[in-house]
Structure 1
Amino acid sequence: MFLNRFNFRRLRLTLMLWAGLGVAAGSSCSKETTPQPEAPIAVQTHLVNSTLIGEYSPSVVASRVSGIPLVGALVRYPIRVYKLTYTTQNTDGQQVTASGALLVPVTTQALPLLSYQHGTISPDGEDRSPSYYSASSEVYSAVSVLASTGYIVSAPDYIGYGASKALPHPYEHAASLASTSLDMMRAAKEFCEKQKVGLNKKNFLLGYSEGGYATMALHKLIEEKFPTEFAVTASAPGAGAYHKSAFADYILGSDQNLSFLSSYVWVLDTYNRVYNINRAPSYYFNQPWATQLQANPFSDVPEKPSELFTGTFRTSILNKTDAPMTTAFRDNDIYDWKPKAPVALFHGTADDYVPYFNSEDAYKAMRARGATQVTLHPIEGGNHFTSVARYTLEALGFISQY
């Protein structure tokens, strides 16, 4: 877990853009396998508790995006916002209590369920996790407008935030991001059944940055393991790091300054722990940063890979001789599979935080497997932060077709 303050400010800008918008709206050589439907499972309760945070009129929701012309006109229903707590599994298989926000339009009409996966939240930004429903969070404004247009929104905090804030967040770990989000959907469904809230059969998935990665992982998990429980209607992941192994090669083979290295250190720390590799920081990082990161995991790091990472680590990844970490990267590659539901991949072509090739590789790999409903939506000239506006507007436009 090693993000420096500069990059957190940039990530915070992304969240502010989300809030201000108000939501107007090389492949691997692994063989394709046919996803098998899940075996019948015993009834299992995921929902632990629900607490009403508040009810908000259309005018109140619209006022949160008053600075954006015409966006407030999209607001339709009052919404009730709840904090849900539910059971899920941590990366070690242990059951934990997690949390999230559920946004419910006030109407008798049966509405779609939309799982919204949030972007990176810094360690000092706990109050921006969905279940806090604070004014600084994207859920408070952007996602509230989305809900008011007619979606029941399930917004998981993820492990490491909200009810599970005492645990480390498994940053960019596909399996746990997907399972925690799916269990939140299950809890949302249980809540709706108990409260007689009408759900139709449509299920949408949205998210940007880490949320885009989580959205892709969730879509893959549902279609491959639980296709009869939640049939995905469509998903629109934005700017996710789907091709982890190629991303590693890109970073460790670069001689250029890379503004996102502190975020990448967080990824390494997560995989080092989750996959029980358990190496000391001195294996990965040159001094004095190894000692510095050991003492303060969120301290600043240099932007040049050759300055930060040891030659041993760089060479072993590029030559594929570091079996444990190479396996971890490949385990988190989620770009090469065959989705059945429509997928719209959004990404800025000038993204210097999560390179565009992640979405391009996913598009090519999926199409090569015969996924005919996958589309690539380049945001020309957009970087990781300036692309948020286009993503937000166009993602809503995309799912509105279904």
Structure 2
Amino acid sequence: MKFNLRVISVVLIALFVATGCKKDKKEEQSQEDAGKELFVSANPLQTLTKVQLQTAASLMGFGAFSSSLKYDVDFYRFIYNTTFKGRKIQASGLLCVPGGMSGTPAMLSAQHGTIFADFQAPSAFNFPGSMTGFELFASTGFVTVIPDFIGYGVSKDIIHPYYDMQSSGQAVVDMIKAAKYYLKSQNKSISEKLFLIGYSEGGYVTMAAQREIETNASHKLTVTAAAEGAGGYDISGMLATVATKTSYPDPSFFALFIQNYNTLYGFNRPLTDYFKEPFASRINTLLDGTLKGDQINAQLTLSLRDLFNTNFFNSLNSAGAEAAFKAKVAENSFPNWAPKSATRLYHGTADENVYYQTSESTYNRFLPVTGSAKLSLIPIPGGNHGSSVVPMMGDALQWFSTF
């Protein structure tokens, strides 16, 4: 029997193409199904014109971005399903969709800094009073999602899992997937590019989301680039440095951090094991979601020796002491992982809230694996925790435009 090799080749190519198309469609359907299960609702809040956003940017100290704001933006309160401590819960955030674009926008997930009051959650949308600043990225042409984080918005009855790597990353990724499904269901096209950005706690959460995506192929997401600013990635190193200090400008951070770890990991110790009175007795009330950080700070003390239980404070730099607590700290400091995607770490060199050395030590640990072609540390000379936000956002916006 004679075979026509040309005919056989054409048939084989057709089979390969058909099989590949079926596989692509199956993967696309799988991703859509996952997003459908996660999506709950998207309720319109307000449409702001680019002029309104330019005015807000100036009022908020982001006037340098005014010329980059080109589009009106539709804002939605977005609710989705996620998983926390092995159970399904609802979480929320803000979805920001630019209007009138001629091209196809990329998606950007932006993670905010530490908040304490329920009304500060992005989905509360107290325009312009409690805007994070990341809302402005939508007016530059990104479909932008800003998660509230677990413990705020619709999940406010849960103690916020502050600096918990796994749940922080999961909540962000689930919002991204749910938002992608919703946008497709509304015939709103977005590109496959996915950018991540965050500052302070948001820098840490951004890295947690990047890690979750890069270590879990089932999400079917790829990070295009991640910009992470002033996050406490190296929590172990951060606490060791705190132990060498006499004062700290935001004791509310420690109140939230220790309350969360004590509860989340089941230590359930009296807060007097960590803090001195009268502060130990105040903390649960201070963290009830009604007060902002500066109001909480006013009820605590900047003196670390006066704030912390003496034994606990001394343990921070004592090998073997507080072993269970330190083990959880180490687990959440990104061990045994380094980024695969393009990553920039930003940090003010005069930051007294989250020390510059935290980014430096993380960069040095990542560099041998990630490589200098994909990883950069961007020092902001003389920048403190507040003043470094705008320079970081400006550089990141320009950098993202190169992809």
Normalization by structure 2: what TM-score? 0.83
**Which AA in structure 2 matches 1:377?**
I
Alignment of 1:183-202 (within 5 A): 183-202=174-193
CA-CA distance at 1:173 after TM superposition: 1.8
Counterparts in 2 of 1:346 and 1:335: CA distance versus 1, 3 Å: farther
1:118 to 109, 112, 119: 112
Q: In the alignment, is residue 47 of structure 1 matched against residue 39 of structure 2?
A: yes
Q: In the alignment, is residue 344 of structure 1 matched against residue 344 of structure 2?
A: yes
Alignment of 1:58-137 (within 5 A): 58-66=50-58, 71-90=65-84, 92-106=85-99, 107=101, 109-123=103-117, 126-134=118-126, 135-137=128-130
Counterpart in the other structure of 1:266: 256
CA-CA distance at 1:303 after TM superposition: 2.1
CA-CA distance at 1:58 after TM superposition: 2.5
Q: Is the 8 A contact 1:77 1:148 kept in 2?
A: yes
Structure 2: runs of 5 or more not aligned = 1-29, 288-295
TM-superposition CA deviations, 1:40-67 (whole Å, max 9, x none): 8893310011111122333332232356
CA distance in 1, matches of 2:336, 2:352: 22
Counterpart in the other structure of 2:380: 379
Counterpart in the other structure of 1:362: 362
CA-CA distance at 1:164 after TM superposition: 1.3
After TM superposition, the structure 1 stretch with the greater mean CA deviation from structure 2, 62-71 or 353-362, is 62-71
- Bigger relative contact order (CA 8 A; separation at least 6): 1
CA-CA distance at 1:286 after TM superposition: 2.4
CA distance in 2, matches of 1:115, 1:69: 22
Counterpart in the other structure of 1:280: 270
Counterpart in the other structure of 1:149: 140
CA distance in 2, matches of 1:70, 1:315: 44
Aligned length: 357
CA distance in 2, matches of 1:355, 1:227: 35
**Which AA in structure 1 matches 2:331?**
D
CA distance in 2, matches of 1:116, 1:236: 10
SS of alignment partner, residue 191 of structure 2: strand
**Which AA in structure 1 matches 2:355?**
P
Counterparts in 2 of 1:227 and 1:74: CA distance versus 1, 3 Å: farther
Q: Is the 8 A contact 2:114 2:202 kept in 1?
A: yes
Counterpart in the other structure of 1:401: 402
Counterparts in 2 of 1:41 and 1:52: CA distance versus 1, 3 Å: closer
CA-CA distance at 1:337 after TM superposition: 2.5
CA-CA distance at 1:263 after TM superposition: 0.8
CA-CA distance at 1:122 after TM superposition: 2.0
CA distance in 1, matches of 2:159, 2:219: 32
**Which AA in structure 1 matches 2:378?**
H
Counterpart in the other structure of 2:164: 173
**Which AA in structure 2 matches 1:400?**
S
CA distance in 1, matches of 2:285, 2:182: 43
SS of alignment partner, residue 300 of structure 2: coil
CA-CA distance at 1:137 after TM superposition: 2.4
CA-CA distance at 1:339 after TM superposition: 0.9
Q: Is the 8 A contact 1:340 1:371 kept in 2?
A: no
Counterpart in the other structure of 1:310: 309
**Which structure has the bigger radius of gyration?**
2
SS of alignment partner, residue 197 of structure 1: coil
CA distance in 2, matches of 1:352, 1:286: 23
Q: In the alignment, is residue 206 of structure 1 matched against residue 197 of structure 2?
A: yes
SS of alignment partner, residue 143 of structure 1: coil
TM-superposition CA deviations, 1:133-152 (whole Å, max 9, x none): 2221234xx33331121100
CA distance in 2, matches of 1:270, 1:310: 17
**Which AA in structure 2 matches 1:301?**
L
Counterpart in the other structure of 2:232: 241
Counterpart in the other structure of 1:25: none
SS of alignment partner, residue 216 of structure 1: helix
CA distance in 2, matches of 1:122, 1:41: 34
CA distance in 2, matches of 1:130, 1:296: 21
Normalization by structure 1: what TM-score? 0.83
Counterparts in 2 of 1:255 and 1:214: CA distance versus 1, 3 Å: closer
SS of alignment partner, residue 346 of structure 2: strand
Counterpart in the other structure of 2:319: 319
Percentage of pairs with the same residue: 31
Q: Is the 8 A contact 1:337 1:365 kept in 2?
A: no
CA distance in 2, matches of 1:41, 1:80: 25
CA distance in 2, matches of 1:270, 1:398: 35
Q: Is the 8 A contact 2:31 2:220 kept in 1?
A: no
CA distance in 2, matches of 1:294, 1:112: 41
CA-CA distance at 1:249 after TM superposition: 1.5
CA-CA distance at 1:84 after TM superposition: 1.2
CA-CA distance at 1:99 after TM superposition: 0.9
Counterparts in 2 of 1:293 and 1:137: CA distance versus 1, 3 Å: closer
CA distance in 2, matches of 1:209, 1:386: 12
TM-superposition CA deviations, 1:104-145 (whole Å, max 9, x none): 11236321110011111122xx22311122221234xx3333
CA distance in 1, matches of 2:111, 2:52: 24
Structure 1: runs of 5 or more not aligned = 1-39
After TM superposition, the structure 1 stretch with the greater mean CA deviation from structure 2, 320-329 or 332-341, is 332-341
CA distance in 1, matches of 2:397, 2:325: 37
Q: In the alignment, is residue 215 of structure 1 matched against residue 214 of structure 2?
A: no
CA-CA distance at 1:217 after TM superposition: 0.9
Counterparts in 2 of 1:243 and 1:194: CA distance versus 1, 3 Å: same
